[in-house]
Amino acid sequence: MTELNRFSATAIVDAITSGDCSAEDVTRACLARIDEREFEVGAFEYLDPAYAIEQAKVLDDGPVRGPLHGVPVAIKDIMDTFDMPTGWGFDPYGDRTTERDASAVALCRQAGAVILGKTVTSEFAAFHPRKTRNPHNIDHTPGVSSMGAAAGAADFMFPVGFGTQTGGSIIRPAACCGVIGYKPTFDDLPLDGVMVLGQMLDTLGFLTRDLEDCALMRGALLGDSPDIASRDTDSPPRVALIRTRYWDQAEPIVHAVMESTVETLTEAGVRIEEPDMPEGFDELGAAHGTIMPVGSAQARAYEYQQYRDEMSDVFREHVEEGQATDYADFERAVELSRKCRAALDPLFDRYDVFLTPSAPGEALAGTFPTGEAMFNRFWTLLHVPLVHLPVSMGPQGLPVGVQLVGRHGADRNLLSDAQWILERLN
């Protein structure tokens, strides 16, 4: 049998329920990989191997509990866990316990998951990175802020990890590390017990190696179908190519991957067009840059008052930018985002999915800066669902992929279209 730590979550459930292996077997395989690679990759903020095995044994001793039975799931360290510290990537909170689970964590336990441990996040899930490195080359960034989840999934430490996105913190780490990243529609998954960075932007999602696992996790949390609906082979999705105003800032490898993707899909029968975007669309990046600091200043007001000297310079300046923002400017940015959301819907009457870059290039060398979310933040502001698909490797031997954008609330359709497209790209 293939090493169990390389199994997708979907395959793990099938193997356990069919009796081919146990939850303990899977958990031990993941822990063995972590033991082998954690000292280089640094995906975990907290890990108790004995406790993970204990959870798996309890599952093995009872009936199948739910759709995630025996799946090791990694929890981003801004999500409350009653039995593990939740530090928010901030040293003064490193040993903080909440004595409760975030709703998403509680639902995973209810569905039979093994809560493997807490993955590294950047300080307050923002800009200042911590110890995690890119598993493809540890001299390069894995992106932020869902860095531990992306790196751990890419390095076969676990099949799926939680991420959150306020700017680009699911899609860009997925792009850096070469895994699937899924940011659902805003407000789709429960945020109770998840640290707030930007109340108008924060979205909970997943990083995994298999697109089917996104549907499995979504189904477990929402009671939706755990399967991706198959799209008719003879009915390809209608695709809009959206280069955005940032196209010229992307590296040549991004242009090449986008062009090869368009060529492959065209050969598969997809009609791809480049529509004009709604008025004001080019200003959405700036609008996000106004809204996010205000949200962070509000959400982290206590930490700024009590711990500003312990904050990184970059986060302290981010909060102070929000504090200094004129409310009229904030209102204009919010109103622009509302108008553009409304104007986007007619485009989705013509197209099923948008094809656009995920990141400006391969993962940067070093630990900071971690790169730009220019191709993500305005989609986050528009509250639409996103999927990153890994496609190729760049000249530095690091992953490059594409981003798919779906209609607000049409996550199941997006996953179906993404599966159809991924099969052709592979």
Mean pLDDT of 231-257: 94
Are 151 and 124 in the same domain? Answer: yes
Q: Which of 8, 122, 146, 169 is catalytic?
A: 169
Model pLDDT, residue 5:
98
Contacts of residue 301, Cβ cutoff 8 Å, sequence gap at least 6: none
For residue 37, is it within any domain? Answer: yes
> Smallest Cα–Cα separation from 140: which of 349, 366, 306?
366
Amino acid found at 110: Q
Q: What is the mean pLDDT of the chain?
A: 97
pLDDT digits (tens, 9 = 90+) for 108-121: 999 999 999 999 99
- The whole-angstrom separation of Cα 262 and Cα 285 is 25
What is the model's pLDDT at position 73?
A: 98
Q: Is residue 210 a part of any domain in this protein?
A: yes
pLDDT of 52 over the 90 cut: yes
Residue 364 domain-assigned (yes or no): yes
Mean pLDDT of 175-193: 98
Residue 400's DSSP bridge partners are 392
Decide which of 222, 250, 266 is a domain's last residue: 222
Q: Does residue 124 share a domain with residue 258?
A: no
Domain that holds residue 369: 239-276+347-425
CA distances from 360 to 65, 374, 415 (A): 42, 8, 23
Question: Is 76 a residue of the active site?
Answer: yes
Q: Based on the fold, state whether residues 71 and 216 are members of the same structural domain.
A: yes
Q: How far is CA 309 from CA 127, 231, 287, 367, in A?
A: 17, 54, 29, 22
Q: 19-28, 224-233, 283-292, 380-389 — which is least confidently predicted?
A: 224-233
In a domain, 418, yes or no: yes
One-letter identity of residue 302? Y
Residue 283 in any domain: the answer is: no
Residue 233: per-residue pLDDT: 75
Tokens in use for 141?
Answer: 């960034």
Regarding whether 247 and 109 lie in a shared domain, the answer is no
Cis peptide bond N-terminal to 296, omega within 30? no
Number of structural domains the chain divides into: 2
Judged against a pLDDT cut of 80, whether residue 420 lies above it is answered with yes
State pLDDT tens for residues 98-148.
Answer: 999 999 999 999 999 999 999 999 999 999 999 999 999 999 999 999 999
- Is 183 catalytic? The answer is no
3-state secondary structure string across the chain: CCCHHHCCHHHHHHHHHCCCCCHHHHHHHHHHHHHHHHHHHCCEEEECHHHHHHHHHHHHCCCCCCCCCCCEEEEECCECCCCCCCCCCCHHHCCCCCCCCCHHHHHHHHCCCEEEEEECCCHHHCCCCCCCCCCCCCCECCCCCCHHHHHHHHCCCCCEEEEEECCCCCHHHHHHHCCEEEECCCCCCCCCCECCCCCCCCEEEEEECCHHHHHHHHHHHHCCCCCCCCCCCCCCCCEEECCCCCHHHCCHHHHHHHHHHHHHHHHCCCCEECCCCCCCHHHHHHHHHHHHHHHHHHHCHHHHHHHHHHCCHHHHHHHHHHHHCCHHHHHHHHHHHHHHHHHHHHHHHHCCEEEEECCCCCCCECCCCCCCCCCCHHHHHCCCCEEEEEEEECCCCCEEEEEEECCCCCHHHHHHHHHHHHHHHC
Q: What is the mean pLDDT of residues 198-216?
A: 98
Is 8 among the residues known to form the active site?
no
Same domain for 252 and 179, yes or no, is no
Please, which pLDDT band fits residue 234 given cuts at 50, 70 and 90?
A: confident
Check whether residue 154 and residue 262 sit in a common domain: no
What's residue 192's pLDDT? 98
Query: Do residues 115 and 172 share a domain?
Result: yes
Asked if residue 413 lies in contact with residue 406, where contact means CB atoms within 8 angstroms, the answer is yes
Span 62-94, pLDDT tens digits: 999 999 999 999 999 999 999 999 999 999 999
Same domain flag for 191 and 246:
no
Asked, for residue 21, whether it belongs to a domain, the answer is: yes
Does 162 lie in the same domain as 105? Answer: yes
Task: Examine the domain organization and report whether 260 and 134 are in the same domain.
Answer: no
Which pLDDT score, from 0 to 100, does residue 1 have? 52
Which residue is catalytic, options 76, 118, 183, 337?
A: 76
The structure's pTM equals 0.97
- Please tell me which residue in 8, 145, 337, 416 is annotated as part of the active site: 145
Of 222, 250, 265, which one is at a domain's C-terminal end? Answer: 222
pLDDT class of 232 with cuts at 50, 70, 90: confident
Question: For the domain that residue 78 is a member of, what is the CATH number?
Answer: 3.90.1300.10
164 phi/psi in degrees, rounded to 5: -135, 155
Same domain, 150 and 183: yes
Average pLDDT estimate for 185-210 = 98
In terms of domains, do 144 and 244 share one?
no
Interval 321-353: pLDDT, tens: 999 999 999 999 999 999 999 999 999 999 999
- Look at residue 132 and tell me if it is in a domain: yes
In a domain, 363, yes or no: yes
| Residues of the chain above pLDDT 90, percent | 98
Please tell me the predicted confidence (pLDDT) of residue 115: 98
Predicted local confidence at residue 317, as pLDDT:
98
